[in-house]
Structure 1
Amino acid sequence: MSRVIEYIKRTQQSSAKPFCAYLYDLDHLRSHVASRAESLPAACQLFYAIKANSEPQILRALLPYVRGFEVASLGEVDKVRAVSADVPILFGGPGKTNEEIEGAIRQRVSLIHVESLNELRRVDVLARKHGVTVPILLRVNLRGPFPSATLAMAGRPTQFGIDESLVPEAIRLALALEGVKLQGFHFHSLSNNLDAGKHVELVAYYLQIVAKWQALFDLDISYLNAGGGIGVNYADLQQQFDWPAFVQGLSALLDSAALPVRHVLFECGRYLTAASGYYVAEVLDIKQNHGKTYAIIRGGTHQFRLPSSWQHSHPFTVIPTEKWEYPYERTRHENGPLTVVGQLCTPKDVLASDVFVPSLRVGDIICFQYAGAYGWAISHHDFLSHPHPDHIYVEQAGILA
């Protein structure tokens, strides 16, 4: 983080406008993802779910370290193909259009995750139209139970996957269709699980289910996609998902019995990129209303929507700066709770609520940590037509703007 802070201070000193930027530490990103990919058991493959952050600089940085990329639209397929003509792509998500399915065929997507019986039939029709056989995984909405997590996509009614009760019908249909080849099953049941032991148990549950179907239908399948779902602890940055414990448990699990598939896939997003990103904004004003203190920053939830979306106070640090060009004294906050808000005309534009801050002045910088995933990518950028933040990529070799 020291290089990030150094860049912020140097740039703010020379800038005529209030500082507002996303900064990404590409060296940290590469090191983090490389260590995760290398430590997985041999039967496992790590994919990056680009919905978390699909900036081309991020994709290029990750390209040498992941097996491939998981996408959820044809636009995301195009983003991946812009950085690599042949890297494997997994294509998931409900409600795929004909254009997307045919685009996936043209762009040589490795696996399509089929979300319904209707979609299965349409993939078959379009595959035969193009004279190809499309490799697919059936995405299944299992009944569970599952570990607790921030979001649940299975184990309850959602728009995701094929109901577990319909899987035998889906398998029989897939085996009968000429345009598709059933390669396995996809389960993405939850998001932001922080318990490594429970995540091993989740994979064990998936393997048990797939082994049952494999034996019942005498399937020759290659893949079990265990999804992503590994989380980030925004409440306590020092207590993160225990990856070594997860790998140790996963290795023991995979060594304990014959696998019903050749490969177990993981398509992580947030867990891979969050820690390498920072959302950084200058304090424009500090004020009190009805006994509560507010710091107003250059930016807000239109640029960094994650805190509002998840309704949490996002962790941040204060970077003191000495730049002050006005003839009056800087407004200062000392030793008390403070709420960080943006410039939008809504009381919902809150990034952190009632957080104790030892010292903060107008003109200082607030640096939100773990902002490398679901930050800019999910934000309503043009609400009120404020300027966009800069996007800065920091690495040992230099700065990419």
Structure 2
Amino acid sequence: MNRYEELADRFGTPLFVYDLDEITAARRELTDALPEEFELFYALKANPHPEVVRALREGAGKGCRAEISSTGELAAALAAGFTGADCLYTGPGKTDEELREAIGQGVRMFSTDSVTDVRRVGAVAREHGVVVDCLLRVNSAAASATTSIRMTGTPSQFGFDSETLGEVLPELRAVDGIELAGMHFFPLSNARDEESLIGEFNHTIGLAAQLQDDLGLPLRYLDIGGGFTVPYAVPGARGHYPKLRSELSATLDLLLPDWRTGTPRLACESGRFLVGAGGTLLARVSNVKVSRGRKFVILDAGINTFGGMSGLGRLLPVAVQPVDGEPVESASLVGPLCTPGDILGRQIELPALAAGDLVTIPNAGAYGPTASLLMFLGRPAPTEVVVRGDEVVSVSRIEHHRSYETELVR
């Protein structure tokens, strides 16, 4: 019996296993790949499990800061030992209530996406008698990489359009309670290769330097985003970036020559790269059936457990971790839900499976339970086990309950 079989027998399935040693290794790889002057933010949206977040904050080497976009993520960051001052609060739809909570908890840096967003941040900051830093998220009019998931260069709820930023800058400068501290970019996600990632970062740095010069924009802080890759739910290794440090350094030396002395302070951010390879999903086969010549392998884990973001067309299909030399066949891997949309993989290669067999889905540490349809059909959330080596650090499950009006108005 291997390690995963032991954990599945002990805690049941569906079961997520998060390996803190693997997560710490990913953090070390990425910090080593970047110039040492860079700060690294962990995007909690990828996996807000407190033990995972804590492992990225502490431990040997350089820890991460926290990138959050809700008060729920703020609570998870605080529970993992971050302070509000460690957090960058992002998102295009911040409400007054969220901002009051965040600023009250000590958050002092916000990425902003519009004039009204900046005004709202400033108004709440004045209520608290503080001044907070605002980074202007910039939606570049052009892009470098032609592959990967594009996050810029198109109409978007995210960021100020770079070509019209100068027109609104006087309004932004007039807002009290905030200081324009710099810029935030996030041009792509899950870059296909190092060349496209470096090209996009270089384009971003060039645009930031141009906006600083042309518009007189302050640039104390520059977050150039992420895009670091790891396979999602299929076998494979994290991206490798041997040229990144030297290429970024050369570009910064040319365009922002004071960067080595902290002008501006520099940051990157990552979610999936840091945690993706550190997670494995274990599920059991509930049934196998054939319909009109096609085989369906039905698991106890579906889109309520994993892949609820599949409607975006970004994350699936999955692949089962094979055993060397094991024969394979073509079948659809589906979940237990009463909907034809509960498909994890359509006509993919699978080992010959039978009811009761354990299925292992690798690289499942990012966008798991909290990115899934957890409450659909009322099935319990999967169990999440955190391990470090052979030690089980924690065992938990997300629980939902309905709050009635008497509870809400207390």
TM class, shorter-length: 0.7 to 0.9
Distance in 1 between residues matched to 2:224 and 2:14, nearest whole Å: 37
Distance in 2 between residues matched to 1:210 and 1:14, nearest whole Å: 52
Q: What letter matches 1:57 in structure 2?
A: E
Distance in 1 between residues matched to 2:250 and 2:181, nearest whole Å: 25
User: What's 2:289 paired with?
Assistant: 287
User: What's 1:242 paired with?
Assistant: 240
Distance in 1 between residues matched to 2:138 and 2:309, nearest whole Å: 30
User: What's 1:29 paired with?
Assistant: 23
Instruction: Give SS of 1:202's match.
Output: helix
User: What's 1:326 paired with?
Assistant: none
User: What's 1:191 paired with?
Assistant: 189
User: What's 1:382 paired with?
Assistant: 375
User: What's 1:393 paired with?
Assistant: 386
Q: Identify if the C-alpha distance between structure 1 residues 318 and 360 changes in structure 2 by more than 3 Å, giving closer, same or farther.
A: farther
Alignment of 1:94-173 (within 5 A): 94-173=92-171
Alignment of 1:180-329 (within 5 A): 180-234=178-232, 237-238=235-236, 240-257=238-255, 258=257, 261-305=263-307, 308-309=310-311, 310=314, 312-317=316-321
Q: Is the 8 A contact 1:26 1:61 kept in 2?
A: yes
TM-superposed deviation, 1:270: 0.9
Q: Identify if the C-alpha distance between structure 1 residues 19 and 95 changes in structure 2 by more than 3 Å, giving closer, same or farther.
A: closer
User: What's 1:84 paired with?
Assistant: 81
Q: Identify if the C-alpha distance between structure 1 residues 211 and 344 changes in structure 2 by more than 3 Å, giving closer, same or farther.
A: same
Residue 344, structure 1, aligned to residue 337, structure 2: yes
Identity %: 32
Distance in 2 between residues matched to 1:162 and 1:68, nearest whole Å: 24
Q: What letter matches 2:106 in structure 1?
A: R
Q: Deviations over 1:336-392 (max 9, x none)?
A: 211111001112111122222343222111111111111111111121112222111
Identify which of 51, 75, 80 aligns with 1:57: 51
User: What's 1:10 paired with?
Assistant: 6
The gaps in structure 1 that reach 5 residues or longer are 321-332
Instruction: Give SS of 1:79's match.
Output: helix
The alignment covers a number of residue pairs equal to 383
Q: Is the 8 A contact 1:146 1:155 kept in 2?
A: no
Distance in 2 between residues matched to 1:166 and 1:259, nearest whole Å: 27
Q: What letter matches 1:304 in structure 2?
A: F
Alignment of 1:360-375 (within 5 A): 360-375=353-368
Q: Deviations over 1:178-209 (max 9, x none)?
A: 31111101111222212211211212111211
User: What's 1:66 paired with?
Assistant: 63
Deviates more, 1:203-212 or 1:224-233: 224-233
Q: Deviations over 1:15-48 (max 9, x none)?
A: 7xx6320111111111221232244213311110
Q: Identify if the C-alpha distance between structure 1 residues 303 and 13 changes in structure 2 by more than 3 Å, giving closer, same or farther.
A: closer
Q: Is the 8 A contact 2:333 2:343 kept in 1?
A: yes
Distance in 1 between residues matched to 2:164 and 2:240, nearest whole Å: 35
TM-superposed deviation, 1:235: 8.6
Q: Is the 8 A contact 1:318 1:364 kept in 2?
A: no
Q: What letter matches 2:293 in structure 1?
A: G
Identify which of 28, 31, 41 aligns with 2:35: 41
Deviates more, 1:387-396 or 1:357-366: 357-366
Q: Is the 8 A contact 1:299 1:342 kept in 2?
A: yes
Distance in 2 between residues matched to 1:49 and 1:194, nearest whole Å: 19
Q: Is the 8 A contact 1:23 1:392 kept in 2?
A: yes
Q: Is the 8 A contact 1:19 1:282 kept in 2?
A: yes
Instruction: Give SS of 1:279's match.
Output: strand
Distance in 1 between residues matched to 2:71 and 2:232, nearest whole Å: 31
Distance in 2 between residues matched to 1:307 and 1:85, nearest whole Å: 28
Q: What letter matches 2:277 in structure 1?
A: A
4+ long deviations beyond 6 Å: none
Q: Identify if the C-alpha distance between structure 1 residues 129 and 56 changes in structure 2 by more than 3 Å, giving closer, same or farther.
A: same
Q: What letter matches 1:207 in structure 2?
A: I
Q: What letter matches 1:357 in structure 2?
A: L
Provide TM-score, normalisation by structure 2: 0.86
Q: What letter matches 1:30 in structure 2?
A: T
TM-superposed deviation, 1:298: 1.0
Q: What letter matches 1:287 in structure 2?
A: K
Q: Deviations over 1:235-268 (max 9, x none)?
A: 9744642322333422333344415742221111
